[in-house]
Amino acid sequence: MISRNVGIIGAGRMAAETANYLKAQGVQVSFFADEYGKGQEKDNIPHIDILRIPRDIDLIIAVGDPSLKKKLVALVRKNNNKVRFISCICSEASGKIYLGDDVTIAPGCNLTTDIKVGSHVIINIGCNISHDVEIEDFTYVSPGVNIAGYSKIGKGVMIGVGATVIDRVKIGDNVIIGAGAVVIKDVPSGDTVAGVPARSIK
């Protein structure tokens, strides 16, 4: 259950979108925080330094880059061990969905059933996630992505706008999938793929 008072780590456009999602659910956003916070406001919400986050606050990290997000989580945990990461869910699911901490599912997504989503994951607007899909920690799914049934997405993956992952495909850790790509076979960890069908471009 989402709390009524939340801080957002990040101060870019994704943070602004997340603030709007939260406001629509009746949640007050207390602050935006990043490494450059100098007290300025954005949409009447204070902007603070990430090292000055109050204790006992619920947080959402609104940063797409998986490697940066991982660093921010470690930094926040090191400086504030009482912080709680929460999720922001703006789409309906038709069946069982298992979520980790700090998951954002934007409006207009369609999630079916028996889906597992790890911690610190963003599923952006208009995505379709089919049955029995697993998405691991620190993954970013861009707008309009389609992931078919029984696929597994590794840790720290970035999936570009409008990409498609067909059924039963395994994507390794730290993979980048280009915009509009159609992934029809497994992708090893650390690879970058693009095109139709998707091929390695590293």
Distance from C-alpha of 116 to C-alpha of 179, rounded to nearest angstrom? 23
Q: Nearest Cα to 122, choosing from 68, 180, 195, 191?
A: 68
pLDDT tens digits in sequence order for the chain, 202 residues long: 455 679 999 888 889 899 998 888 888 898 998 876 655 566 788 888 888 888 778 899 999 999 999 998 888 888 876 778 888 888 877 789 999 999 999 999 999 999 999 999 999 999 999 999 999 999 999 999 999 999 999 999 999 999 999 999 999 999 999 999 999 999 999 999 999 999 999 7
195: left (phi over 0), alpha (psi -120 to 50) or beta: left
CB 92 within 8 A of CB 80: no
**In Å, how far from its chain's centre is CA 99?**
11
Q: What is the CATH number of domain 5-85?
A: 3.40.50.20
- Which listed residue (131, 143, 170, 192) is catalytic? 131
Polymer length in residues for the chain: 202
Q: What is the CATH number of domain 87-194?
A: 2.160.10.10
Domain ranges of the chain: 5-85, 87-194
CB 121 within 8 A of CB 103: yes
- Catalytic site includes residue 47: no
CB 153 within 8 A of CB 159: yes
